[in-house]
Amino acid sequence: MVLKLIKRKLKLNYRKKKWPGLIEAYRKYLPVSSKTPIVSLQEGNTPLILSEKLSEIIGNNTKVFLKYDGLNPTGSFKDRGMTMAISKAKEEGCEAVICASTGNTSAAAAAYAAKGGLKSFVLIPDGFVAQGKLAQALMYGAEVISIKDNFDKALEIVRELSEQFPITLVNSVNPYRIEGQKTAAFEIVDDLKFSPDWLCIPMGNAGNITAYWKGFKEYSQKNKKLILPKMMGFQSSGSAPLVENIIVKNPDTIATAIRIGNPVNREKAKLVKKESKGDFQSVTDTEIISAYKILASEGVFCEPASAASVAGLIKNKNRIKKESTIVCVLTGNGLKDPDCAIKNNDAIFTKNVEPDIKNISEKLGF
């Protein structure tokens, strides 16, 4: 009876802690005031999942955690930046926003603009945006234009448009995006009670790695004992401008979210690498798909770009000190890119089978 009551109370307490969205949760770390109209879909507070499988692959008593940011309202970490960017745009009296996107930025911009009552415009590279992301932008009511060129060109165009016309740019050159995204680092420290030894993260424009590092640094000012992680950024070998320190004219990778040849946050990313004593490396598409499958085999479905963080971790297996704690950031949800999953899996899928018990039980091996 008493036990039952205690159990019930615990349950109630869990429910009572209703998550208010990341701006309310981390308000004192963010550039908002009582005048800022908060546009939120209760983003943030995503799970930090212990991966037994990856911990075993790395060995040496290492613990590998997955920051599953694909569980944000529109299915990627972009929501963290967008709640800030759209709230501030609204505060400044803006009525429309614009972005270039490989898909997830447009989904998040369209959703938060819709929530905030703003108009959104989106420029995407024709043929290189995953189906789920395009569906979202269209459903949330963005006006979408696909151009016969890549992301880098699209960004160049929207930057110019936002200078000429009264529209706010919400790509990661918008400083409020970084502010919102840094809260993911706060959540990791809140969950672990310390920071990881390594943070493994995919890089496209390198806004997210910049944001995480800012987050870890700001939290360490509050908690002096916090030892900062090494920031390990990964790109696909067909699209690795930060690893090779060049501009890639025709970036090419299955991981469309990081198919970027000229990252806008290049200089900031270099500084992150230097300050954190981290490293930037590339992984092949084959390694990305292999990591993508390992994750799914443990029940975690992310998009290919996100799996680059895990592919990178596996590549560095022999460099990892024993008893390390590692966090891999899974930036987007696997449902975003169903085509990739359907083309790249090892499942047994028998089609066009006669609906006959005997026939089917034989196929199942009984």
Ligand X SMILES: *Cc1c(COP(=O)(O)O)cnc(C)c1O
Shortest spacing between CB 333 and ligand X, in angstroms: 8
Position among 104, 183, 239, 282 found at the interface with ligand X (CB under 6 A): 104
Position among 84, 206, 231, 314 found at the interface with ligand X (CB under 6 A): 206
258 sits near ligand X (criterion: CB under 6 A): yes
Which string of DSSP letters, residue by residue, matches 187-245? HHHHHHSS--SEEEEE-SSSHHHHHHHHHHHHHHHH-TTPPPPEEEEEEETTB-HHHHT
- Please give the Cα distance from 81 to 40 (Å, whole number): 11
Position among 40, 51, 183, 208 found at the interface with ligand X (CB under 6 A): 208
Q: Pick the stretch among 44-52, 158-166, 196-204, 244-252 that binds ligand X (CB under 6 A).
A: 196-204
Residue 259, C-beta contacts closer than 8 angstroms, at least 6 positions apart:
102, 125, 128, 150, 151, 204, 236, 239, 251, 252, 253
281 sits near ligand X (criterion: CB under 6 A): no
Instruction: Compute, in degrees rounded to 10, the torsion defined by CA atoms 246, 287, 297, 129.
Output: 40
Residue 62 or 76: the one with the smaller Cβ distance to ligand X is: 76
Q: Pick the stretch among 38-46, 148-156, 270-278, 298-306 that binds ligand X (CB under 6 A).
A: 298-306
Position among 185, 203, 228, 283 found at the interface with ligand X (CB under 6 A): 203
Quote the DSSP letter at residue 302: B
72 sits near ligand X (criterion: CB under 6 A): no
Number of residues binding to ligand X, judged by CB under 6 A: 18
Residue 181, C-beta contacts closer than 8 angstroms, at least 6 positions apart:
77, 80, 81, 207, 208, 211, 212, 215
- Please give the Cα distance from 182 to 80 (Å, whole number): 8
Q: Pick the stretch among 43-51, 112-120, 199-207, 340-348 that binds ligand X (CB under 6 A).
A: 199-207
Shortest spacing between CB 229 and ligand X, in angstroms: 17
288 sits near ligand X (criterion: CB under 6 A): no
256 sits near ligand X (criterion: CB under 6 A): no
332 sits near ligand X (criterion: CB under 6 A): yes
Asked if 180 contacts 85 with a C-beta cutoff of 8 angstroms, the reply is yes
- Diameter of the chain by CA atoms? 69
Residue 264 or 324: the one with the smaller Cβ distance to ligand X is: 264
- Please give the Cα distance from 84 to 40 (Å, whole number): 9
Token pair listed for 149: 């060129």
196 sits near ligand X (criterion: CB under 6 A): no
259 sits near ligand X (criterion: CB under 6 A): no
Q: Which of residues 121-160 bind ligand X (CB under 6 A)?
A: none
**Phi and psi (nearest 5°) for 201?**
-150, 140
Q: Which residues bind ligand X (CB under 6 A)?
A: 76, 78, 104, 172, 202-208, 257-258, 303, 305-306, 331-332
